[in-house]
Amino acid sequence: MMALMETITNTLLSMGNVQGLPQLSGWSILAIVAIVIWTFAWKGLALWKAARLSHRNWFIALLILNTFGIVEIIYIYFVAKKFTVETVEK
């Protein structure tokens, strides 16, 4: 895991050498990685719930919109809570 983080850090730091891009500090990189992990976690959970509840329109909206987890959290705690999945055993 540390090797992966080091590779990502080195890659992002070297991006600052490209003309027109600012040099990124260690804290900037950490913030970017934290935001990406936060967003992916909420988006994954919200998409899973929308698919399981057959909420096609919500699934499409959640897939397209990138709101750093805000819409996903609203969906999970306010919309999806009102619905349940019924399973039929054969």
Domain count, the chain: 1
Q: DSSP letter at 18?
A: S
**87: in domain:** no
**88: in domain:** no
39 and 66 Cβ atoms separated by less than 8 Å: yes
Q: DSSP letter at 24?
A: P
Write out the chain's pLDDT in tens, 90 residues. Answer: 678 777 877 776 666 555 555 676 778 888 888 999 999 999 999 999 999 999 999 999 999 988 888 889 898 898 888 887 777 777
**90: in domain:** no
CA distances for 74 relative to 56, 62, 81, angstroms: 16, 11, 10
Q: Whole domain around residue 6: which residue ranges?
A: 2-15+23-82
